[in-house]
Amino acid sequence: MGELEGIDPSVPPSGEGCAECDRDGGWWVHLRRCAQCGHIGCCDTSPEQHATKHAADTGHPVVRSFEPGEIWFWNYATEIAFEGPDLAPPQHHPIDQTVPGPGPRVPADWQAHIH
């Protein structure tokens, strides 16, 4: 699979946080953006690992970090990190969003819940 397969630079992100965690009242450690459809999901350290589940459920193998200052891509199918094209803005979640986040939903013992 070529690096640009599975990437649509014109698609904006689905929101500012993990779509499923926001829907269900959950929380996340870091965010990942599907490079094909823009879905925002939580990372594999997060309790629910929605980015990986999205890749498995949809066949969209490429994500990009949705963290400020991080521009790397990851391909779940090849397990290779790489640099790719600029994606439609915004490039990351809001700077004032807590990590883990969102702040009001993160339990005090959050470290006991991560992978």
Q: What is the pLDDT of residues 45-66, one digit of tens each?
A: 999 999 999 999 999 999 999 9
pLDDT(2) > 50: no
CB distance 64 to 57 below 8 Å: no
Q: How many Å apart are CA 35 and CA 14, to the nearest integer?
A: 11
pTM of the full structure: 0.94
Q: How many Å apart are CA 45 and CA 114, to the nearest integer?
A: 5
**Span 3-45, pLDDT tens digits:** 478 899 999 999 999 999 999 999 999 999 999 999 999 999 9
110, with CB counted inside 10 A (0-12, 13-18, 19+), is middle
Find residue 81's DSSP bridge partners: 74
pLDDT at 4: 74
At 41, give phi and psi (nearest 5°). Answer: -130, 165
pLDDT(81) > 70: yes
